[in-house]
Chains A and B, each alone.
Chain A
Amino acid sequence: MKTRAAQFVSGIGIVMLLLLISVPSQAQIADATLSGTVTDPSGAIVPNAKISVRNLNTGQSTDTQTNSAGLYNLRNLTPGDYEVSISADGFGTKVAKVALSGGATLTIDAALAAPQAQPQLPPATDNLPNAPSSSKTEPSLEDLGFPADQTQANAREQALLDKRTHMLKIHQRMGLITTVPLIATVATSLNAGGKNTSTASRDLHTALGAVTGDLYFITAYYAIRAPRVPGTETRGPIRFHKAMAWIHGPGMILTPILGAIAFDQKSKGEKVHGIASAHGPVAIVTAGAFGAALLSVSVKF
């Protein structure tokens, strides 16, 4: 019995170790980002410039265009060698070859060549009756009177958001993974703390609890270290999710401490007594708060 329990604990340990290894590995091979600003010879920004990047290894191309502030941002690029082509109506085309490494953000600013004389094109005949036009009477974004800080691109904030989302995705996955040993730990507690319990049962419960704790704190790390976005007020279900952390966080610290005391008492043949008798109730409250936190962002109540 003891041998089988030990094998089971070892198996769980190996699986969890693989899971722990897999998450950082995923982060290490993160995709690359290419961004920059496109200007004309006078230094003025060029909105709607076309940026095309072609992976020289796979031949796959990705396109985007600059926004009203002349900025572009291409994300989720597989690390490798690329040919970058930047062009805009009335300007020449800039071509550059770059090497993108995993997780890196490369900035390529381009000053396009002077405008070229444009041939007079005949009116389009295939436009639908109310298709968007290039009429000189068209209102512009400036006509709408938005404050400049609302219309201008903020590459730094985008990078902050990208990092935040990346870390919270790992937080989410690790939280789900943590649920498995957490449930198993609670389930095995029935055989670990009663009058007629075996050493093997306590060992199994202890091992599962240790795995749960390790995964939990990795999960918490990615939430705590995810960058905050200035000026953002916390609203909605995420407030409850965060509030629950003030319960399951301390609980995840207290539960193993109380558990260690209880384990020691049981190993000496004593009945669990004193502060150690709070191990079970604290663990249940902790697991409940963790589950509530998970549900609060998963299901709409």
Chain B
Amino acid sequence: MLLALPTLALADGQWVLEQCTLTYHVSHPLHQTEGVSHAARGKGTCHAGQCDFLIAVPVKSFDSGDSNRDLHTLQVTHGAAFPMVIVRTRLPESSATSATLNVDLEIQFAGQTAQYKQVPFKLETHGGETHITGTIPATLSDFKIDPPSLLTMPVKNEIPVRVEMTWHPQ
């Protein structure tokens, strides 16, 4: 679920998400769980000094290492009715030069839309590619998801999502 933005200096150009790893973290009193997806796709288009970015990832693509847990996750997040996590953001081209970036994100997930303001990301550019890392401070309540429970104990509301992305200009 997330986004980040390349250091875009391409007037009327496009950016393509080349590689992406998204990792959510869930805390339960008995153990910690992470689910990983490498299936995100993204695109950015720049025009008149603004770049609009879209990233989407199938809810089903997250793998926690346990098929039963993943099916419960799919159910509780209404992943069959709302199969995609969609992230949108916009950045001015002038924001390109810094090593850090604070991004406003709009995330559609589980039939809800949540907005996150000024989420910090780190940017590194190597050979024309921009590597972006950061963590989105998502919570279950942001998307009106009832915390699943195990042995009558619910998981924590916080489900931070670690974002690692590589973008390249097209």
Query: What residue of chain A has the Cβ atom nearest to residue B87's Cβ?
Result: A132
Would you call B74 an interface residue if the criterion is a C-beta within 8 Å of the partner chain's C-beta atoms?
yes
Residues from chain A with Cβ under 8 Å of B111 in the complex: 64-65, 67, 72-73
B45 interface residue per 8 A CB criterion: yes
Contacting residue for B58 out of A131, A146, A232, A236, CB 8 A:
A146
- Report whether B30 and A133 are in contact in the complex, using a CB–CB cutoff of 8 Å: no
Task: Give 1 or 0 for each of B37-73: 1 = CB within 8 Å of chain A CB.
Answer: 0000111111100101110101010001111110110
From known contacts A65-B113, A132-B105, infer whether A232 and B67 are also in contact, taking CB-CB under 8 Å.
Answer: yes
Q: Which range holds the interface residue count of chain B? A: 35 or more
List, in ascending order, chain A residues with CB within 8 A of B113's CB: 48, 65
Residue of B nearest to A238 (CB): B68
Residue from A73, A135, A144, A150 with most neighbouring chain B CB atoms (10 Å): A144
Secondary structure class of chain B's binding surface, majority of residues:
strand
Assuming the contacts A71-B81, A158-B78, A300-B31, asked whether A229 and B71 have C-beta atoms less than 8 A apart, the reply is: yes
Given known A-B contacts A65-B113, A67-B111, A130 and B66 have beta carbons under 8 A apart: no
CB distance from A109 to the nearest CB of B (A): 14
Whether the Cβ atoms of B90 and A135 lie closer than 8 Å is yes
Q: Say yes or no for A145: interface residue by CB 8 A criterion.
A: yes
Write out the residue numbers on chain B whose beta carbons fall within 8 Å of the beta carbon of A232.
67, 71
CB-CB under 8 A from A64, the residues of chain B are 111-112, 144
Q: Tell whether B84 is near chain A: CB-to-CB under 8 Å.
A: yes
Chain A 132-144: CB-based contact to B (< 8 A → 1; otherwise 0): 1101011111011
Q: How far is the CA of A64 from the CA of B110 in the complex (A)?
A: 9
Taking the complex as formed, is A75 at the interface, i.e. its CB lies under 8 A from any CB of chain B? yes
Q: Is A128's CB within 8 Å of the partner chain B?
A: yes
Interface presence of A162 (CB below 8 A)? yes
B contact residues around A176 at 8 Å (CB): 151-152
Question: Can you list 7 contacts pairing A with B, beta carbon distance less than 8 Å?
Answer: A71-B81, A131-B90, A131-B104, A132-B90, A153-B83, A229-B71, A299-B31
Given contacts A128-B118, A158-B80, A165-B75, 11 further A-B contacts (CB under 8 A): A64-B111, A67-B81, A73-B81, A130-B104, A131-B90, A137-B52, A144-B42, A150-B60, A172-B150, A237-B66, A297-B150
Q: Which residues of A contact B (CB under 8 A)?
A: 35, 48, 64-65, 67-68, 71-73, 75-76, 128-133, 135, 137-141, 143-146, 150-155, 157-158, 160-162, 164-165, 168, 172-173, 176, 229, 232-238, 241, 297-300
